[in-house]
Structure 1
């Protein structure tokens, strides 16, 4: 039987939107310009081109040349419909399976999302995948339909096969990432990055608790999405240091708009990061000034009570404020163990992701180094910005190796970090209990970098709900930013970048990131971060806020020691409150001062010069291993 829905929040039917959009706004010359600029980015700027050609047997450069040739033979009277041009150019970008490298569709697609008024998620039972509706938009209803119904078919196709077919159409560097994005895009698509769905409506076959099979026909709808806080086209540190899956970021904002409107905020922070509040009670949520970025609470599992903090995005303008709020929140959570949950986080500001690592470990953080591909155009960009009078972009470290590559024929430049090492170690460890990181295949870019740093610095266990992360290992720049970089501080003659028509855009992976420590030199792109532990999501997880996932994380936390290292200044020294620490070394402004054995939970040390020191760092050891640290900065 076919059920007819009622309610819903759709502002426009997809077919009505497309009827207006298909009138077209791009001339033949506009299309030729777009292809020429795409060829420029892929051939001269794209850092992963050698890797993608080898791993995926693709040749986007040749495909763009062929498209340019066909356009050169067309006339305004013989050129095809605009939607077909958008589809082909998008397909070429998607062929490299890189969510950093995109064709961003022009108006009227920009700022719009297409969606169905329900979400579908997957879980496992007996080793088999199942698909279930987990949410519907407010006001939407249909007979026998709602959260909890099992989905069996999509337009008559078995749902598992339909997801795989859909996954093949979208970028993803590994099978887990493609599958996750294939499922996500079944019900929500940002139109600025994906051509609209082919179908005007979807027939969903599902079964409720009564076991009766029903069908629901629902039209795709189009509405406005919330804007990003970060303007990636303007020269700023946030734009230059961006590592972002734009599609995931768009979908994250769309999900808040449709399903969690209370988390939608007009500003990056609300009322500052210094909210007053008591420590979280059992299963209590801690209020945050950044609800679009964090959700912090205590959770009780069979292994104990722990802190759980979701980090939804790193896409901020102010990474320092971001880290301060994270530190404030984890300080109000149980100190017996912390679950840092970055599932679905598409990345953002690379500084924000790597600044966060120091708060969870006593070890010094080594930011991931990055490389340019050596081309004449990238050399011009590095030469233009080898000095940094503005404090916004400094490409000086990469310039000598880029110049030398003209002689040596090196494919890549030297490798240097984007994140300043000083900022990555300024605060030091803030949480001394054990930490578990929870990931999935939708973690991308700056979140891949965060997960890689977490693993490389041996901060704690990684628990994945997929076989690996999304594997986005790069810094991404927009076409508009690249154009601007050759215009500042003074315009460079013969810049090849041209203004794109119709508010279209393009993005390209410009610097690739490499792992550190034991995996030093290994690229993140397409490989991602493999978790040490795998959890198959259960029906209870997707329907009841992850109780089985959190229970598994709790087991991992309970198996690790809970340490403590609190430090207070006294008149002539330091008072230490410790647990599972047997030695303390004190440094004043980076210079060694005192080393002492610790025998009880409270130790008083006389430290000459501590009163006048600007930075006091105490390192705690157990059996000769560095296990805890505390840094105190005097204002």
Structure 2
């Protein structure tokens, strides 16, 4: 579909009151972008909006009533958010309901007004887990412009640069590297601030990055369509000439989600996801990496897997191309592994960990740059199961708490004994039941992630690791970053002052309704929502472990150990300065190796062949029992365990100067 004809014309010079610079010189030109839509099925925004506006008065009453039920009866952060942000979303919903009671189908407000009020109420708590999800025709759709803008800082000066163009955009002077100066006539930093104020980030850094993201991509499931039907972008071209581009907003179906949070499964009950980040990530994949979307849909059949270690500058293909990007990178400090984890939103955490291990074992072993920027989270078990692969220490999963309400108490009572759906809420039930007498605000804290699963695989990468974060990291990724820091796995290198600070497990209205209906409950207060409308709330809040044990993650997030400002070289040349900064943190750190090959001899002896580096002592355990200890040196050595045949699990722990530095666990 051709969207427009490219036109370039001189803009008249005019005086700007109070301005003495040459912001609007005679060379300024205006271009109307032309080309085909980047995503098949795209339509202009004004055409899409003709299909909206079908909610009846009765349907609006249902939506408001269910929102009141969830925020008052399930929302774990309500006491914190009401105090911290001086808001009262429950009272605002009551007022909205009162206004609706005075209206009819003939006199009710326009539907956009209703959606605006509902969205504003949910956004007021500044919690990206707690959302009002718009009904048809908005569900599953995105609004987009065919280019991406990123923020960078050089020499103390902040700028906004175009870093990617979608296929089909045709504007000769508008390309990668041009600097955006104004957005619809506003200075671009002001436009970003206005957008940031509309979004529910838990801290200033989280709101800012979402202000940048929303310039060009918006999930209509979570946010109303843009007020403007087209955008006028002022920019400096490659020759420094000031120009303008006018682009229409387009609407298209988004790529499908990789996990379903509505069905009654362990995955749905263990979800920790910033839905906006997930929707935006899938939209960007459609725009800029459509081949990866196709490969993800086809699975293993679309990927030619490698069993050879990555060469310098080479990539290791993944069976999950929308989840991982694995490659070897050369930095100023040496060659290291770089593994990008785009999301934890997968249905099977064991498969996620298996692919993670396969990739890191094919990457350089002298240091790993683990990059989770932009990762909005997903399956909490996938995030916490992964930590064990990077450290010899035993992983303690983060504990979570319910807020004590009669509604949460009844749900936990129904799932106290781990029924057939395998969602076990029994650990939280006694304290919720007791709160009726004690008046406690929160239940006792227990982990969602089973501790045995968080330690079953054991360490698989033995080089030093640095974790790279930004303010888009949220939910399960917040939990992962907190666990990485709490278990002292390595330094955290942040491009923002905090992660997104989403410290909770999130449940949808559909999942809450399904949980309450097991066993069947004709008196359930949850009723179906109309026209695919939905809602999500933070249901259990997470607490940190280790040195910060008991500290909530919500609103605080994870502060990096080292800060790096993204530069123009970063956003235009593959994160070059960021990778150099990460490489500098890895360089000089001790290198460890602990390879293990097992064999059973005819006399029943279990023979262990060890490959070692950076280790001066090994202790051997078989099925949890100590079977020997030995001083060792770099190289290979063997260790015989008499009568070890038939053992189930062997673990070798490696020490340096009395400190545990490596561990290998193998199931025989």
Q: TM-score, normalised by structure 1?
A: 0.98
Trace 1:304-453 onto structure 2 (pairs within 5 A).
Answer: 304-390=334-420, 392-453=422-483
Counterpart residue number, 2:19: none
Compute the displacement of 1:610 (Å).
Answer: 2.7
CA contact (8 A) 1:360 1:432 kept: yes
**Please, which of 53, 56, 59 is the counterpart of residue 30 of structure 1?**
59
Counterpart residue number, 1:555: 584
**Please, which of 105, 114, 121 is the counterpart of residue 143 of structure 2?**
114
Trace 1:23-172 onto structure 2 (pairs within 5 A).
Answer: 24-172=53-201
Counterpart residue number, 1:3: 31
**Alpha-carbon RMSD:** 1.3
Counterpart residue number, 2:656: 622
Trace 1:527-546 onto structure 2 (pairs within 5 A).
Answer: 527-546=556-575
Q: Which runs of 5+ in 1 are unaligned?
A: none
Tell me, what secondary structure is at the counterpart of 1:297?
strand
Counterpart residue number, 2:618: 584
**Please, which of 520, 533, 538 is the counterpart of residue 549 of structure 2?**
520
Compute the displacement of 1:271 (Å).
Answer: 4.1
Map Cα deviations across residues 326-345 of structure 1 (whole Å, 9 max, x no partner). Answer: 10000000000001100000
Counterpart residue number, 1:14: 45
Compute the displacement of 1:389 (Å).
Answer: 3.1
CA distance in 2, matches of 1:170, 1:301: 36
**Please, which of 228, 250, 264 is the counterpart of residue 221 of structure 1?**
250
CA distance in 1, matches of 2:161, 2:153: 11
Moved more, 453-462 or 11-20: 11-20
CA contact (8 A) 1:288 1:294 kept: yes
Tell me, what secondary structure is at the counterpart of 1:258?
helix
Compute the displacement of 1:273 (Å).
Answer: 9.8
CA contact (8 A) 1:144 1:208 kept: yes
Compute the displacement of 1:602 (Å).
Answer: 2.3
CA contact (8 A) 1:118 1:137 kept: yes
Map Cα deviations across residues 584-610 of structure 1 (whole Å, 9 max, x no partner). Answer: 111111111111111342222222233
Counterpart residue number, 2:635: 601
Compute the displacement of 1:391 (Å).
Answer: 5.3
CA distance in 2, matches of 1:90, 1:66: 15
CA distance in 2, matches of 1:594, 1:9: 66
CA contact (8 A) 1:478 1:507 kept: yes
CA contact (8 A) 1:610 1:616 kept: no
Q: Which runs of 5+ in 2 are unaligned?
A: 1-28
Compute the displacement of 1:493 (Å).
Answer: 4.1
- 1:467 matched to 2:512? The reply is no
Tell me, what secondary structure is at the counterpart of 1:222?
strand
CA contact (8 A) 1:273 1:324 kept: no
Counterpart residue number, 1:205: 234
Compute the displacement of 1:217 (Å).
Answer: 1.1
Map Cα deviations across residues 463-516 of structure 1 (whole Å, 9 max, x no partner). Answer: 01111100001100100110011112x212411001001110011110011100
CA distance in 1, matches of 2:624, 2:50: 66
CA contact (8 A) 1:168 1:178 kept: yes
CA distance in 2, matches of 1:391, 1:202: 49
Counterpart residue number, 1:250: 279
CA contact (8 A) 1:618 1:629 kept: yes
Tell me, what secondary structure is at the counterpart of 1:631?
strand
CA contact (8 A) 2:375 2:474 kept: yes
Moved more, 605-614 or 617-626: 605-614
- 1:290 matched to 2:293? The reply is no
Q: How many residues align?
A: 631
CA contact (8 A) 2:162 2:177 kept: yes
CA contact (8 A) 2:303 2:317 kept: no
Counterpart residue number, 2:487: 457
